[in-house]
Amino acid sequence: MRNISAATLAAVSEAEAVLAPVFARFDETAKTVAEKILSAFYDNRVSEAHLHGTTGYGYDDRGRDTLEKIYAQVMGCEAALVRPSIVSGTHALAVGLFGLLRPGDTLLSVTGKPYDTLDEVIGLQGDAGNGSLRDFGIKYEQIDMKDGFIDCEAVEKRLASGGVKIVFVQRSKGYAADRRTLPVEEIGSLAGTVHKHPGVFLVVDNCYGEFVQTDEPVALGADLQIGSLIKNPGGGLCRTGGYLAGTKKAVELCSYRLTSPGIGAEVGASLDENRNMYQGLFFAPTVVASALKCAALASYLFFHAGFRTSPSYDEERYDIIQTVDLGSEKNICAFCRGIQSGSPIDSYVTPEPWDMPGYTDRVVMAAGTFTSGASIELSADAPIRPPYTVYFQGGLTYETGRIGIMRAYDEVTQITK
């Protein structure tokens, strides 16, 4: 392999032999999810006509409406919004939160502080008057996780006192490297607690988690799950977009926020994105399995090079993210250089830390992707702060993703020798 050391090639060969049964588990999950998706295509009688979009208001967009029925069936819920007009996961989350919350309500996060990009949405950062939830008189509280688990006893106690409208779960660890990602079964158990209190919605930030398990949070009782189409469910083909899926009531309220009250999901031109969204969903189980294999390989290599990794290479996974504590800014930048140099796009670019909007620390990102910012493609990012943890995810194919991982491993181990 060009520009990859013999030592790294040997280490990867050893890793792949050990990881064979782990990879087989990922493939089994992909088979189950793929069957579910194909059944939804059959049941909804998808045809060539559904792959073409609309313009203007987008009234009677058969492709859009049928795709949303397919998403609801695949996710295991009543309804869904799947729209190219949703620009990111953060935008989708804002639509969900503003759609369900009203002045005087309380948003209760039960997995600690949410991902950094929600700080200004909630009003934890930013100037007063910028349109945050806080500006609309919506209160925020959080309950930290206890020994890595949702503190259901504390949640029950808080719900009993009233005033909470949304119990918010961030399934993935985000930038909290010391917390675990949640399996859908735990979210399902929480749903039982939440639904003892009428009028309270259980909302899940499901970014990075779709199709890692055979079931989704809404299938086990969550009222709403939210994600980005340039992550798992877009299968690497969606060029933009996001989704919200859940109960009919929750999705309807969110549709009024996405467009306007009285109009909701009836409008929204799909332009020329339908084909990519259908085909991306079709490919998604295989692509997610490839991303999981890349994460497990990175975990094995860097663990045996002396770095702390999470999850461990043989641990059950509930999202596609792999963290590696690299110990220094220098090592983080080396890792990201390797990922970038092993990417299909912009492989010649050198990533550098910068002040990225929405983040409180400088961030370095490596993403030589076909779609800008698509984290289902091979990518890595890291806030420049101790313990200098890099967050690695994606890989459209394992065969190409492993090359980026080998380059990152080479870059870091050359520094640490």
pLDDT for the residue numbered 128: 86
Residue 6 confidence class, pLDDT cut points 50, 70, 90: very high
Give the residue-averaged pLDDT of 386-399: 95
- Fill in the DSSP letter of residue 86: -
Q: Are strands 106-109 and 139-142 parallel, antiparallel or unpaired?
A: parallel
pLDDT for the residue numbered 417: 65
Q: Are strands 363-366 and 379-383 parallel, antiparallel or unpaired?
A: antiparallel
pLDDT for the residue numbered 361: 86
Give the residue-averaged pLDDT of 280-293: 98
Percentage with pLDDT > 70 across the chain: 99
pLDDT digits (tens, 9 = 90+) for 166-214: 999 999 987 777 789 999 999 999 999 999 999 999 999 999 999 999 9
Strand order, beta sheet including 363-366:
308-310, 322-325, 389-393, 379-383, 363-366
Residue 389 confidence class, pLDDT cut points 50, 70, 90: very high
> Do 241 and 82 touch, CB atoms closer than 8 A?
yes
For residue 126, pLDDT beyond 90? no
pLDDT for the residue numbered 173: 87
- Fill in the DSSP letter of residue 266: G
pLDDT for the residue numbered 178: 77
pLDDT digits (tens, 9 = 90+) for 340-367: 999 999 999 999 998 877 677 899 999 9
Residue 8 confidence class, pLDDT cut points 50, 70, 90: very high
Rounded CA-CA distance 17/22 in Å is 10
pLDDT digits (tens, 9 = 90+) for 49-107: 999 999 999 999 999 999 999 999 999 999 999 999 999 999 999 999 999 999 999 99
- Give the relative orientation of helices 398-416 and 274-304 as an angle to the nearest 10 degrees: 30
Average pLDDT, the chain: 95
> Do 25 and 36 touch, CB atoms closer than 8 A?
no
CA-atom Rg of the chain in angstroms: 21
Give the residue-averaged pLDDT of 21-37: 98
Give the residue-averaged pLDDT of 382-393: 92
**Which residue bears the tokens 């890349």?**
294
Residues 6+ apart with CB under 8 A from 44: 66, 69, 70, 73
pLDDT for the residue numbered 1: 56
Q: Provide the sign of the torsion angle of the four alpha carbons 209, 210, 214, 217, taken in this order.
A: positive
Rounded CA-CA distance 393/410 in Å is 18
Give the residue-averaged pLDDT of 282-295: 98
Q: Identify each DSSP E strand in 160-319 by its residue range.
A: 164-170, 201-205, 224-228, 242-246, 308-310
pLDDT for the residue numbered 259: 98
Q: Which domains does the chain have, with CATH numbers?
A: 6-33+282-416 (3.90.1150.60), 56-271 (3.40.640.10)
